[in-house]
Chains A and B, each alone.
Chain A
Amino acid sequence: SAVISQKPSRDICQRGTSLTIQCQVDSQVTMMFWYRQQPGQSLTLIATANQGSEATYESGFVIDKFPISRPNLTFSTLTVSNMSPEDSSIYLCSVPGPSNEKLFFGSGTQLSVL
């Protein structure tokens, strides 16, 4: 299984500021996925990060709010911009297994916006 390091593990931020979350994988992967888990809710896919091209965003998520970088096959960042209390969630990066047969998750970032 892939080892995924995600940081920060948690943060408390002020309204209107931005936070960048980093995700490092111990092996090269083509796709990386960013999920959000709002309190008491399930995981919702924000976007798919492809190396060398722009990220693909799901309905309801836009690049201006959640810009993503993917500079190489082992690293990605997700920025939560101009934060509001509604952005308080757990943010998770994930990567598929070698045959896209399963999904592995990072440890998550617990974000609280005041």
Chain B
Amino acid sequence: QKEVEQNSGPLSVPEGAIASLNCTYSDRGSQSFFWYRQYSGKSPELIMSIYSNGDKEDGRFTAQLNKASQYVSLLIRDSQPSDSATYLCAVMGGSQGNLIFGKGTKLSVKP
């Protein structure tokens, strides 16, 4: 059974700081990794996907993948109050495209 683990938080950072969100996964053979953002009462929205070891940057977001350590992280630079949400880490569950999700980390950015 594939599992994805996240610290549930809440993680509180001041506006303008860097928020660091972490995730570990159990299946060493996993190849595709995703970060979703979910505002309260809304459906998840894809922020980043990463498939290779190293860093991938998109605007204020950087995803980091270390397959040897089975570790994925998301950095949010210059955090804004609008970034306050729950961040879900997900791993591709199989060839059909379904995802296995962690429980999410709740991020609060204080003005």
Other-chain residue from B41, B88, B95 in contact with A43 (beta carbon distance below 8 A): B88
- Mask of B9-50 contacts with A, CB within 8 angstroms, 1/0: 000000000000000000000001010000001111110010
Mostly helix, strand, loop or mixed at chain A's interface? strand
| Nearest B residue (CB) for A47 | B98
**What is the CA–CA distance of A104 and B102 in the complex, to the nearest angstrom?**
17
Contacts of A102 in B (CB 8 A): 34, 46, 49
Q: Which A51-83 residues have C-beta < 8 A from chain B?
A: none
Which residue of A42, A44, A90, A110 has the most chain B CB atoms within 10 A of its CB atom? A42
Are B99 and A103 in contact (CB-based, < 8 A)? yes
**What is the CA–CA distance of A90 and B88 in the complex, to the nearest angstrom?**
15
**What is the CA–CA distance of A48 and B94 in the complex, to the nearest angstrom?**
12
Are A43 and B96 in contact (CB-based, < 8 A)? no
Q: Does A113 contact B (CB under 8 A)?
A: no
CB distance from A101 to the nearest CB of B (A): 7
Count how many chain B residues have C-beta atoms less than 8 Å from C-beta atoms of the other chain: 23
Are B98 and A33 in contact (CB-based, < 8 A)? yes
Are A42 and B104 in contact (CB-based, < 8 A)? yes
**What is the CA–CA distance of A33 and B92 in the complex, to the nearest angstrom?**
13
Contacts of A107 in B (CB 8 A): 42-43
**What is the CA–CA distance of A108 and B45 in the complex, to the nearest angstrom?**
12
Known interface pairs A42-B102, A108-B43. Does A100 touch B88 (Cβ–Cβ under 8 Å)? no
**What is the CA–CA distance of A106 and B43 in the complex, to the nearest angstrom?**
7
Q: Does B103 contact A (CB under 8 A)?
A: yes
Are A96 and B49 in contact (CB-based, < 8 A)? no
CB distance from A42 to the nearest CB of B (A): 4
Q: Does A92 contact B (CB under 8 A)?
A: yes
Other-chain residue from A41, A45, A105, A108 in contact with B93 (beta carbon distance below 8 A): A45
CB distance from B87 to the nearest CB of A (A): 11
Given contacts A42-B103, A92-B43, A105-B45, 11 further A-B contacts (CB under 8 A): A43-B99, A45-B98, A48-B96, A48-B98, A90-B43, A92-B44, A97-B97, A101-B32, A103-B46, A104-B46, A105-B44
- Closest 5 CB pairs between A and B? A96-B97, A100-B97, A105-B43, A42-B103, A42-B101
